[in-house]
Homo-oligomer: A and B are copies of this chain.
């Protein structure tokens, strides 16, 4: 990336829900943005933490030991191995940071699973 990027603006421009777009890379991690609404489904990433930063709206992250609700501007890291299910009652825009090796829906494949090829389409 040789120019700056606005995660909020790129997230707002996405047309498909639950389909993260890679906007930058930092060492072995990708920075992604996504537009979400509804639920992604329960899954875990055995070896990778996953950071969520809410750009717009509210995101609830359900975990077996409880849930966190993130307002706009708040972040949370789901530790590796923790089963979780992101839920947004209304449209929500998020920024994600996760290692390049991280699979979209972790150990689960469902109708919302997206490959990294789709995530790497040019912004």
Contact = CB atoms under 8 A, between A and B. Distances in A.
Interface of A: 1, 3-9, 23-29, 31, 48-51, 53, 68-71, 73-77, 80, 97-99
Name the prevailing secondary structure of the A interface residues.
strand
Contact of A48 (B3, B23, B27): B27
A85 to B, nearest CB: 16
A51 B24 CA distance: 9
How many copies of this chain are found per oligomer? 2
6 contacts: A5-B76, A6-B71, A25-B49, A26-B97, A27-B49, A27-B99
B5 A31 contact: no
Contacts of A26: 29, 49-51, 77, 97-98
Contact of A3 (B1, B25, B68): B68
A73 B8 CA distance: 7
Given A3-B68, A23-B75, 8 more contacts: A4-B70, A4-B74, A7-B53, A7-B75, A8-B73, A25-B77, A27-B48, A97-B97
A54 B28 CA distance: 22
Contact of A4 (B8, B50, B76, B80): B76
